[in-house]
Amino acid sequence: MALLKFKKHIAETYGIPNGVPPMKVASKIMRKIKESNPNMSPEEALKHAMKEFDSNSAKYKKDLQ
């Protein structure tokens, strides 16, 4: 559920359809957060992932291809 919410946030930020490309970006960021904090709850990981994405959205735009 958290990943789908995050994917929607990414799609809305970039103004693109909520499909596969935003899922790739969401998965990449969530994986990075969970690897560095394995005991973090999904809700807490979502907060950290959204913060990471919002701070570096230009960096992740290249991953949409």
Q: Strand, coil or helix: what is 40?
A: coil
pTM over 0.85: yes
CA–CA separation, 22 and 40 (whole Å) = 22
pLDDT in tens, the chain (65 residues): 888 999 999 999 999 999 999 999 999 999 999 999 999 998 999 999 999 999 999 999 988 87
Report the half-sphere exposure of 63 (CA within 13 A, side-chain side). 17
Residue 65's Cβ-side half-sphere holds a number of Cα atoms within 13 Å equal to 2
Q: What is the pLDDT of residue 9?
A: 96
Phi/psi for 19 (5° steps) reads: -130, -140
